[in-house]
Amino acid sequence: MTLANAHALFYGLKAEPSYLANLDVSDDERAQLMEARSEIRATLKAAASQIQLTDNYWQDSYRQKVNWRQRPEIQVKFMTQGSFAYRTLNEPAQKPKQEIDLDDGMYVPVQFIANGEPALAAKGLFEFVDSVLIPLCDARGWVRDTTKACCARVKLWPGAHIDIPIYSIPQDRFNQLRESLAKAHIAVATRGSVKGGWKLPSDKIMLAQRDGSWVQSDPQMIHDWVDGRSERYGPPFRRLCRFFKGWRDYTWEKSVLSSICLMRAIDMALSELPGLPRGDRDDELILEIAKRLPSIFDGTIVNPVLWHLCINDWSDQDRNEIVRGAVALRGEMEAALERTGDAEQVVLKLRNRFGTRIPYRPDAIKMAPKISAIQKAAAAVVPAPRIIASTSG
């Protein structure tokens, strides 16, 4: 039990938006994102027939053996991924320097050649996407960003962009994808569920790089992991991810602390807690996670689905900065919930770390009697005093 209960500030205010609601992207921005996504998809689908006919879009070794008449007709499909799909998308804390990011993966069916790579050329597919989108971007006033190593980017307005990572997928897998997307569409329309029925197998799903290379990558694996954590911990998991992303974005304009690394760190912290998270004390969960984050960030955090990959392989400078930020968060959360007997000070301390999107509502803070809180608080661990040997004469 903490001295202060600030759960309502994070989630649950009735008369005005709580912190979670203040993190939401506006309905107008969401509608604009959806409209832009639809236009980009339609433009690329309509132009996909060019891929079959254009030599530059194919690997040299394949093009030398197979002329354009023998190449397969190409169709493309799209699947939204990342925070938009995970339902952890936040309005940026520092717009327009930070931007709303919608990731919409483009999947291209293709044969594979002898070296195990797709017959399509990674550079060629970037050339296809970049060139096809020129007229649309010019007409809409959007800006293409061709500097990203692993995706094509369209900047919609100051503070929002759509990323288009490009994946190759074997033709038989593509057919499964097409069927699964159709099922997903039906399920959404009928409020049904297709859980477990539309997973993409990870083998031979390759992500194009702008330098011409291909790397194995299956974004569905991360999506499934996020869904699995939400099933394990319940609704608080996604809320916690959004709260801590809000803290990160308020603390740093730009940071090497990726969203997936932050989500994995939250998972690691939750796994150390006794039992499953309660749904009525998000503030207390934030406190318990904050207490553990400095040591978690200072250690090794592995990719949740590719266990051989470290996702916090930061420079010493970056690591120190992130750990310092986590220590500051821990100190402020402890002061706000465990040591501050004044409701207004609780709000101010929370705002120090999460910003003014924390509602200024001291009246929503529930204060416990100090004696009761002290009695139920865990005993502090005090190091044993150092004994210095001495001699007497």
What CATH number does residue 98 fall under? Answer: 3.30.460
The pLDDT of residue 189 is 39
Does residue 143 belong to any structural domain of this protein? yes
Residue 336 CB partners (closer than 8 Å, separation 6+): 4, 6, 345, 346, 349, 350
Instruction: Clarify whether residues 42 and 188 are in a common domain.
Output: yes
**Residue 53 · residue 68 · CB < 8 Å:** yes
Instruction: Clarify whether residues 88 and 63 are in a common domain.
Output: yes
Measure CA of the first residue to CA of the last residue in the chain; give whole Å.
53
DSSP state of 55: G
DSSP state of 159: T
Instruction: Clarify whether residues 150 and 229 are in a common domain.
Output: no
Per-residue pLDDT of the chain (393 residues; tens, 9 = 90+): 799 999 999 998 988 999 999 999 999 999 999 999 999 999 999 999 999 999 999 999 888 888 888 888 899 999 999 999 999 999 999 999 999 999 999 999 888 877 778 899 999 999 999 999 999 999 999 999 999 999 999 999 999 999 999 999 887 666 666 666 666 554 443 333 334 444 544 557 899 999 999 998 888 899 999 999 999 999 999 999 999 999 999 999 999 999 999 999 999 999 999 988 989 999 999 999 999 999 999 999 999 998 899 999 999 999 999 999 999 999 999 999 999 889 999 999 999 999 999 999 999 999 987 644 444 444 444 444 444 443 333
CA distance linking residue 270 with residue 288, whole number of Å = 8
Domain limit, last residue, from 217, 250, 270: 217
DSSP state of 363: G
H or E element, residue 145: strand 143-145
The pLDDT of residue 56 is 92
The pLDDT of residue 175 is 64
For residue 154 the two structure tokens come to 């369209």
**Which structural domain range is residue 310 located in?**
1-18+218-374
- Please state the domain count of the chain: 2
**Residue 103 · residue 160 · CB < 8 Å:** no
**Residue 267 · residue 289 · CB < 8 Å:** no
Residue with tokens 């661990």: 381
CA distance linking residue 385 with residue 390, whole number of Å = 15
